[in-house]
């Protein structure tokens, strides 16, 4: 067999094996992406991913050919007891082993192969090598015949994949030329001049902060000493609830005043960003003369992926608010940055990919992180620096700048990632609540726990220790918030600045569920802080009435003197601050991740609170849980059988509301998804 033929067979086999794997992986991924995007939207991502995957396969094929070339051209022939076709036959075991590894990880993505079969990785590799040697030994005599037969059989498949690759290249070129580019509206467009001085409004969101672990809300540990003091002359809503149990739907509800069954954003927005969403709080504020700024540290909440970037005059990418870890600047990481605007492709090739994960784990085997790489100061200081620069570009004195800012008031959304996992506060906070040596690094936490999943209740003691790291992270965040407010008072006129403090969702360390997301709506997951600091508000104002996350947007608009649009489902909370009566209303939380964004909602979980009672309704199996959260805050006693009439009434309320939303036909939902306000 000639060298040319040998190398040709290697290239063909590698190309076919990797293409077949990619085809199966594409179907598997599309099964998930189809929940919130159309195939024609997925096709450009699929095409570019196939091109990059083929480039990777080519790199492997070239490497194998070079190995064969070195063996026959560099090493003396007397040292090589095998013929070229035998060496080729042997080398083909490498791509076969790689694809077997990839396929195994595809079907066992959440399970360690080593743990599954009870053998160490070294033993598995050794066993695989032994099997390959055995196959080679018995097949070496027929190596040439096997290779020629293999070549004749895979050649048609090669041409099929070549055609698919050419089609992928054509789609990529076409998509590159027809990409949409939106321009932001003119600064100050649609300015509405009002007679009174309008306040600056700062919305501070601490990600994954549950009220149940805050000293201010009755927690037994001293996690929020500053916020507890700061809230003494603010409006503290004791029973504020998130619209969902994780970032995209919760943040979208904050920014739109709409519940998830209305805005229909419950998917992984970093993989499929929302299209331009016109019905948003930032857009209304900007259209009415406010300068709108966003400093968001969570990728799942950035204005860009929520379809609201055009409404912000200042909005930096989420990854600008990170500390570069030691070892992050390596060629694989640098290469992935070229695909920051193609997040599906980036995740596919450089992220959620067994080969990429293997390379990353090998590269990071000696690296660990003991403190957060996303400190809140990066957000706070960026905002303060930006405002200071505006002052420097103003008319001179601090008083004049304050006058300028009052004529052009601003709304600033500061979304910091802590105390979101991994829970890594800096010293001296790490270990302050005990068990300092346990779960005190990123590797220790991620190797010991599977976040956002069910956990074995036998591990509750370990989970309780992990919760200490979370509580320490809250304490660290509390103190950084204090520093921010001290700096803020030195930068702007805080006598005309309203601060709204809240979270996008909570965090769970009980009921067998760790962190957030999932099918449950426990109090720990949806009970969030809500504190509104209004200059001149007399004394403490504690409101012990259930309110909703969607109430934040209309409250901000009333503070700004702007009419609340009809598409907002929330209510302004200002009557509570002024002591005016307000009619009680049901408060909802919901999670719909199992539903396609274009179809009626039939799966998921909805919770509704009326007074002290909360019902949790699981749509698929019609399961209901009823709790009195005033007398049973830990939700340990299900009252659904004791109070059947109340249970039926609340279930009927959920079903009626859901039915009203589901009256939209599939065609109407599809039209919404393709409009500027859809996903």
Enumerate domains of the chain plus CATH numbers.
Answer: 3-178 (no CATH), 200-326+367-674 (3.40.720.10), 327-363 (no CATH)
Give percent above pLDDT 70 in the chain. 81
Whether the predicted pLDDT of 427 surpasses 70: yes
- Residue 678 has what pLDDT? 44
Q: What is the average pLDDT across 569-578?
A: 94
Q: Which of 653, 641, 645 is nearest to 617 (CA)?
A: 653
Whether the predicted pLDDT of 674 surpasses 60: no
Helical ranges in 310-365 per DSSP H: 331-336, 343-346, 354-363
Strand segments (E) across 503-551: 508-510, 513-515, 527-528, 530-533, 541-543, 547-548
CB 306 within 8 A of CB 269: yes
pLDDT tens column, 172-181: 888 876 554 3
Confidence of residue 119 (pLDDT cuts 50, 70, 90): low
Per-residue CA distances from 219 to 97, 211, 471, 610, 649 (Å): 53, 8, 10, 24, 33
Whether the predicted pLDDT of 139 surpasses 60: no
Whether the predicted pLDDT of 131 surpasses 80: no
Region of 515 (left: φ > 0; alpha: ψ -120 to 50; beta: rest) is left
Q: What is the rounded distance in angstroms from the CA atom of residue 480 to the CA atom of residue 653?
A: 42
- Residue 191 has what pLDDT? 31
What is the torsion angle, in degrees rounded to the nearest 10, for the CA atoms of residue 609, residue 611, residue 614 and residue 620? -40
- Residue 12 has what pLDDT? 86
- Residue 539 has what pLDDT? 64
pLDDT tens column, 371-418: 999 999 999 999 999 999 887 776 554 555 445 444 689 999 999 999
Task: Please say whether the dihedral angle defined by the alpha carbons of residues 243, 249, 254 and 255, taken in this order, is positive or negative.
Answer: negative
Q: What is the average pLDDT across 142-154?
A: 77
pLDDT tens column, 279-289: 999 999 999 99
Per-residue CA distances from 277 to 4, 192, 266, 678 (Å): 56, 22, 14, 6
Helix (H) or strand (E) holding 126: helix 121-139
Report the residue count for the chain.
Answer: 679
Asked if the bond preceding 419 is cis, omega within 30° of 0, the reply is yes
Which is higher by pLDDT, 525 or 135? 525
In the three-class reduction of DSSP (H, G, I as helix; E, B as strand; rest coil), residue 561 is classed as coil
Confidence of residue 129 (pLDDT cuts 50, 70, 90): low
Q: Of 338-352, 390-404, 522-536, which gets the smallest average pLDDT?
A: 390-404
Confidence of residue 110 (pLDDT cuts 50, 70, 90): low
Choose from 113-122, 128-137, 342-351, 638-647 the range with maximum mean pLDDT.
Answer: 638-647
Q: What is the average pLDDT across 619-627?
A: 96
Choose from 114-123, 265-274, 366-375, 544-553 the range with maximum mean pLDDT.
Answer: 544-553
Which is higher by pLDDT, 668 or 618? 618
What does the H/E/C string look like for 461-476? HHHHHHHHHHHHHHHH
pLDDT tens column, 46-75: 999 999 999 988 988 888 888 777 766 666
Q: Which of 507, 525, 527, 520 is nearest to 241 (CA)?
A: 527
pLDDT tens column, 69-102: 776 666 665 555 556 666 666 667 677 777 777 7
CB 349 within 8 A of CB 52: yes
pLDDT tens column, 471-519: 999 999 999 999 999 999 999 989 999 999 999 999 999 999 999 999 9
Confidence of residue 637 (pLDDT cuts 50, 70, 90): very high
CB within 8 Å of 48: residues ≥ 6 apart: 168, 172, 342, 345
Q: How many CB atoms lie within 10 A of CB 447?
A: 9
- Residue 189 has what pLDDT? 33
pLDDT tens column, 459-470: 999 999 999 999
- Residue 183 has what pLDDT? 35
> Which pTM does this prediction carry?
0.84
- Residue 439 has what pLDDT? 96
CB within 8 Å of 24: residues ≥ 6 apart: 103, 106
Strand-strand pairing, 530-533 and 497-502: antiparallel
Confidence of residue 140 (pLDDT cuts 50, 70, 90): low
Confidence of residue 103 (pLDDT cuts 50, 70, 90): confident
Q: What is the DSSP letter of 603?
A: S
């Amino acid at each position: 067999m000639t060298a040319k033929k040998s190398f040709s067979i290697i290239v063909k086999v590698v190309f076919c094996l990797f293409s077949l794997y990619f085809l199966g992986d594409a179907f598997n991924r599309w099964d998930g992406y189809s929940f919130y995007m159309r195939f024609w939207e997925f096709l450009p991502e699929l095409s570019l991913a196939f091109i990059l995957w083929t480039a990777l396969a080519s790199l492997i094929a070239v490497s194998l050919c070079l190995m064969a070339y070195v063996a026959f051209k560099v090493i003396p022939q007397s040292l090589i007891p095998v013929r070229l076709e035998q060496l080729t036959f042997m080398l083909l075991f490498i791509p076969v082993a790689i694809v077997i590894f990839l396929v195994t990880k595809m079907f066992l993505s959440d399970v360690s192969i080593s743990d599954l079969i009870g053998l160490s990785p070294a033993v598995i590799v050794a066993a695989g090598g032994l099997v390959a040697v055995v196959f080679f030994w018995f097949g070496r005599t027929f190596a040439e015949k096997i290779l020629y037969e293999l070549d004749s059989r895979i050649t048609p498949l090669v041409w099929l994949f070549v055609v698919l690759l050419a089609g992928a290249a054509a789609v990529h070129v076409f998509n590159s030329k027809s990409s949409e580019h939106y321009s932001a509206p003119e600064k100050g467009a649609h300015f509405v001049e009002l007679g009174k001085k309008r306040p600056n409004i700062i919305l501070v969101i601490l990600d994954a902060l549950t009220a149940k672990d805050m000293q201010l809300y009755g927690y037994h540990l001293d996690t929020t000493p500053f916020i507890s003091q700061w809230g003494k002359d603010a409006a503290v809503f004791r029973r504020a609830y998130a619209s969902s149990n994780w970032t995209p739907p919760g943040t979208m509800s904050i920014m739109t005043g709409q519940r998830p069954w209305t805005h229909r954003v419950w998917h992984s927005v970093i993989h499929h960003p929302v299209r331009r969403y016109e019905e948003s709080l930032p857009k209304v504020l900007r259209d009415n003369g406010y300068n709108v700024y966003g400093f968001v540290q969570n990728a799942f909440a950035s204005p860009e992926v929520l379809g609201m970037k055009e409404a912000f005059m200042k909005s930096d990418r989420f990854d600008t608010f990170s500390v570069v870890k030691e070892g992050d600047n390596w060629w694989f990481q640098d290469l992935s940055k070229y695909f920051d605007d193609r997040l599906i492709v980036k995740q596919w090739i450089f992220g959620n990919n067994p080969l990429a994960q293997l390379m990353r784990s090998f590269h990071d085997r000696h690296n660990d992180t003991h403190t957060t790489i996303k400190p809140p100061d990066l957000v706070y200081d960026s905002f303060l620096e930006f405002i200071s620069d505006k002052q420097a570009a103003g008319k001179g004195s601090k008083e004049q700048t304050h006058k300028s800012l009052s004529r052009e008031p601003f709304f600033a959304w500061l979304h910091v990632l802590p105390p979101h996992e991994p829970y890594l506060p800096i010293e001296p906070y790490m270990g302050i609540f005990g068990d300092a040596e346990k779960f005190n690094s990123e590797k220790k936490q991620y190797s010991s726990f599977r976040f956002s999943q069910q956990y074995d209740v036998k591990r509750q003691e370990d989970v309780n220790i992990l919760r200490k790291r979370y509580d320490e992270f809250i304490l660290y965040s509390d103190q950084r918030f204090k520093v921010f407010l001290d700096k803020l008072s030195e930068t702007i006129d805080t006598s005309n600045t309203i601060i709204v403090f809240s979270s996008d969702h909570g965090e769970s360390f009980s009921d067998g569920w760790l962190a957030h997301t999932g099918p449950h709506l426990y109090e720990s997951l949806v009970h969030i802080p809500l504190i509104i600091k209004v200059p001149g508000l007399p004394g403490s104002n504690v409101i012990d009435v259930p309110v909703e996350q969607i109430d934040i947007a209309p409250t901000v608009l009333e503070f700004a003197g702007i009419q609340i649009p009809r598409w907002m489902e929330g209510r302004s909370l200002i009557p509570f601050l002024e002591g005016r009566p307000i009619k009680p209303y049901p408060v909802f939380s919901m999670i719909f991740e199992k539903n396609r964004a274009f179809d009626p909602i039939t799966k998921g979980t909805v919770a509704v609170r009326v007074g002290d009672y909360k019902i949790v309704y699981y749509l698929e199996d019609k399961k209901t849980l009823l709790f009195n959260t005033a007398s049973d805050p830990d939700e340990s006693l299900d009252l659904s059988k004791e109070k059947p009439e109340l249970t039926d009434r609340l279930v009927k309320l959920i079903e009626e509301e859901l039915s009203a939303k589901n009256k939209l036909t599939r065609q109407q939902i599809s039209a919404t998804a393709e409009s500027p306000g859809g996903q």
